[in-house]
């Protein structure tokens, strides 16, 4: 009876090596994200909001339509409008309707958004270096390639 109970509470082995890698990737992502969230917290910014600002900085003065931002997001956000509302409330972005097609909302990074990203740039680079630098450039290139292959499949 005791042995049966021990067998039932013993941690289950992953059903496959693929499952083991999947769980390991989730744990690694969570580990990396926790430090990133802590870095952004004093600035009242979430990783998703930071990602939008980063995307808009890359878009330049022309900005982007909401659907273009959504396509470039690292993680999906089902409520892009609310996400943009929060950034606009803090004067980090601006939105305007297109004159040619009033259905399209153009989003641009504001001066305060650019200033915040510039303020964070060195800290973000340092964080990533602390988190991943121990792997060395060769392993990081391999890891980046492997992760790209996972996403492309």
Q: 24-51 pLDDT, tens per residue?
A: 999 999 999 999 999 999 999 999 999 9
Q: Residue 13 domain-assigned?
A: no
Q: Residue 3 domain-assigned?
A: no
**Cα–Cα distance measured from residue 7 to residue 64, given in angstroms and rounded to the nearest whole number:** 56
CATH of the domain at 141: 1.10.10.10
Q: What does each C-alpha distance from 45 to 8, 41, 65, 136 come to in angstroms?
A: 43, 6, 21, 30
**Cα–Cα distance measured from residue 85 to residue 21, given in angstroms and rounded to the nearest whole number:** 37
Residue 5 has pLDDT above 80, yes or no: no
Helix (H) or strand (E) holding 8, with range, is helix 2-9
What is the mean predicted confidence (pLDDT) over 103-124?
Answer: 95
Q: What tokens appear for 103 in the block?
A: 């259905």
Whether the Cβ atoms of residue 40 and residue 46 lie closer than 8 Å to each other: yes
Q: What tokens appear for 104 in the block?
A: 């399209």
What pLDDT, on the 0 to 100 scale, is given for residue 14? 60
* 95 CB-contact burial (10 Å; exposed 0-12 / middle 13-18 / buried 19+): middle
Q: Residue 15 domain-assigned?
A: no
Q: Residue 11 domain-assigned?
A: no
Residue 70 has pLDDT above 70, yes or no: yes
Residue span of the structural domain in which 56 resides: 28-152
Q: Residue 89 domain-assigned?
A: yes
Residue 3 has pLDDT above 80, yes or no: no
The verdict on pTM exceeding 0.85 is: no
What pLDDT, on the 0 to 100 scale, is given for residue 11? 61
pLDDT bracket for residue 2 (50, 70, 90): low
Q: Residue 49 domain-assigned?
A: yes
Q: Residue 20 domain-assigned?
A: no
Q: Residue 137 domain-assigned?
A: yes
How many separate domains does the chain show?
Answer: 1
């Amino acid at each position: 009876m005791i042995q049966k109970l021990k067998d039932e509470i013993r941690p289950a082995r992953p059903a496959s090596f693929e499952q083991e890698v999947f769980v390991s990737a989730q744990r690694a992502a969570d580990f990396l994200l926790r430090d990133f969230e802590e870095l952004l917290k004093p600035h009242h910014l979430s990783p998703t909001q930071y990602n939008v600002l980063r995307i808009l900085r890359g878009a330049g003065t022309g900005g982007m339509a909401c659907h273009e931002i959504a396509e470039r997001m690292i993680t999906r956000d089902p409520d892009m409008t609310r996400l943009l509302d929060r950034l606009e409330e803090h004067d980090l972005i601006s939105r305007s309707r297109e004159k040619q097609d009033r259905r399209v909302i153009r989003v641009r990074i504001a001066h305060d958004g650019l200033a915040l990203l510039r303020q964070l740039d060195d800290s973000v680079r340092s964080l990533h270096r602390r988190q991943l630098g121990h792997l060395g450039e060769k392993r990081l290139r391999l890891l980046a390639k492997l992760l790209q292959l996972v996403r492309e499949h």
